[in-house]
């Protein structure tokens, strides 16, 4: 492994290395859900059906997920900064296409371009941090950023809801495009190139690394736990306008407050798990997580006999958010440390799995009929039980 930059170099790089990648990372998560409050307006403007709105979310998530290994590999070959600049340009172009769109088909094309561009940010910015910081500092930075980005699927629609009411739905994409351009200029100006030419692997090495990942059982068990819970929560956020706006007739500027509670519970679960990891171990947190998953599944089934209401849906989602946050640190650590010689490929596949699964789960959650609690209970408890099964099957030597 090549030597990391010394303290003098890091000080010279300044906020360009410590803050800018974090802002880009937050932007990529903002891109996921800021569009949700625009859905009622898209119905009015384009005559869009619920099916088309749902398809636009799934298409964005698939573009976001499937391009991540591609961008990650390119950054290994050609450097971090040029790949980020290309990706941000594509993202900004997608926003422009949406702003000038006059049909649902053109709108979806623009969102797909945004997904392709935003898909580069997470793997490449993670690689920038890995290039620059030793493990202890890296863990602290990623912990802070993860807590912030966990709020984005709730905060983004909250801000966007007020913009839609005051300025119209196209203002969302004008704003997002302008922020993307500003960050692109800052990236060109201040982000240093952190990858080293003599470290850049050839195609054969990259393929060998991905082959190692595909064969590693513990990696996929931990990744499955992470993806089922975090992907399931992302899918819930995608369904909120259909559950709360279209079914319960909640205002576009209000419904995101319900998502904010589940996001805060996710952050609480994350910080709780990290606290107990310091006191005990990753294995201790992981084993307690199994009990929490099983207990949650039993508890939500007890609610299924009650009449459907916003309060009960929010309660179930908030509990699920806490579970996702609790399991994230241990599942992520087990997945990433199970393949130290192929960390880049493992990171790309981890993110691909999370967002690939969330696209499929989003399609399911947006179809759920919330007029009774059976379907949402089956959804949340089913994901918790599947995650619990994978958690239980994980090899003991991977969680010490």
Q: What are the residue boundaries of the structural domains of the chain, listed by start? A: 1-200, 202-400
At residue 246, the pLDDT reads: 85
Out of 3.10.129.10, 3.30.365.10, 3.40.605.10, 1.20.1250.20, which CATH number does the structure's domain 1-200 have? 1.20.1250.20
At residue 1, the pLDDT reads: 46
CB contact at 8 A, 379 and 365: yes
User: Tokens 């190692």 identify what position?
Assistant: 212
- Nearest residue to 326 (alpha-carbon basis) of 374, 287, 377: 287
Q: What is the CATH number of domain 202-400?
A: 1.20.1250.20
Mean pLDDT, the chain cut into blocks of 10 residues (400 residues total): 65 77 85 85 90 90 88 81 94 96 94 93 80 65 71 77 89 95 93 72 76 87 91 90 86 77 88 84 85 94 88 94 88 73 72 88 91 92 94 62
Give the Cα separation of 64 and 218 in Å (integer): 25
CATH topology of 1-200 equal to that of 202-400? yes
Give the Cα separation of 178 and 184 in Å (integer): 10
CB contact at 8 A, 190 and 67: no
Give the Cα separation of 111 and 107 in Å (integer): 6
Buried b (16+ CB within 10 A) or exposed e, 14-50: eeebbebbbbbbbbbbbbbbbbbbbbbbbbebbebee
Q: How far apart are the first and last CA of the chain?
A: 25
Give the Cα separation of 78 and 73 in Å (integer): 9
* Residues contacting residue 97 through CB under 8 Å, at least 6 positions apart: 106, 109, 110, 113
At residue 396, the pLDDT reads: 45
Give the Cα separation of 172 and 61 in Å (integer): 18
* Residues contacting residue 335 through CB under 8 Å, at least 6 positions apart: 219, 222, 223, 226, 346, 350
Q: Which whole-number Å values give the CA distances from 14 to 17, 53, 186, 187, 272, in the listed order?
A: 6, 42, 13, 13, 31
At residue 198, the pLDDT reads: 61
Q: Give the tokens for residue 1.
A: 């492994």
């Amino acid at each position: 492994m090549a030597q990391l930059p010394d303290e003098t170099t890091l000080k010279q790089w300044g906020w360009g290395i410590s803050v800018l990648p974090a802002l880009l990372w937050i932007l990529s998560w903002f891109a996921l859900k800021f569009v949700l409050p625009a859905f009622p307006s898209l119905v009015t403007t384009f005559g869009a059906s619920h099916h088309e709105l749902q398809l636009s979310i799934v298409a964005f998530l698939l573009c976001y997920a499937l391009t991540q290994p591609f961008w990650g590999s390119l950054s290994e070959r050609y450097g971090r900064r040029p790949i980020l600049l290309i990706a941000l340009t594509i993202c900004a172009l997608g926003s422009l296409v949406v702003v000038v769109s006059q049909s649902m088909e053109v709108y979806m094309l623009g969102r797909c371009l945004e997904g392709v561009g935003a898909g580069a940010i997470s793997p490449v910015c993670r690689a920038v941090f890995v290039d620059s910081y030793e493990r202890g500092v890296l863990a602290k930075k990623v912990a802070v950023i993860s807590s912030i980005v966990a709020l984005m699927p709730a905060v983004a629609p909250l801000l966007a809801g007020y913009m839609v009411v005051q300025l119209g739905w196209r203002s969302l994409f004008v704003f997002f495009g302008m922020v993307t351009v500003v960050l692109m200029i800052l990236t060109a100006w201040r982000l240093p190139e952190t990858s080293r030419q003599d470290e850049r692997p050839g195609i054969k090495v990259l393929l060998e690394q991905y082959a190692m990942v595909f064969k590693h059982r513990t990696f996929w068990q931990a990744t499955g736990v992470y993806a089922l819970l975090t992907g399931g929560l992302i899918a819930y956020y995608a369904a909120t306008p259909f559950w709360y706006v279209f079914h319960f007739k909640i205002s576009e500027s209000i419904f995101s407050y319900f998502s904010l509670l589940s996001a805060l519970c996710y952050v609480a679960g994350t910080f709780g798990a990290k606290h107990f990891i310091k006191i005990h171990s990753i294995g201790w947190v992981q084993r307690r997580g199994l009990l929490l998953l099983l207990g949650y599944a039993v508890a939500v089934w007890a609610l299924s006999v009650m009449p459907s209401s916003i309060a009960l849906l929010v309660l179930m989602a908030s509990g699920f958010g806490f579970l996702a946050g609790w399991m994230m640190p241990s599942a992520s650590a087990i997945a990433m440390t199970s393949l130290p010689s192929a960390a880049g490929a493992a990171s790309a596949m981890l993110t691909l799995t999370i967002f690939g699964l969330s696209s499929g789960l989003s399609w399911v959650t947006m179809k759920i009929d919330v007029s009774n609690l059976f379907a949402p209970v089956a959804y949340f408890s089913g994901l918790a039980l599947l995650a619990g099964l994978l958690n239980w099957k994980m090899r003991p030597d991977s969680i010490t």
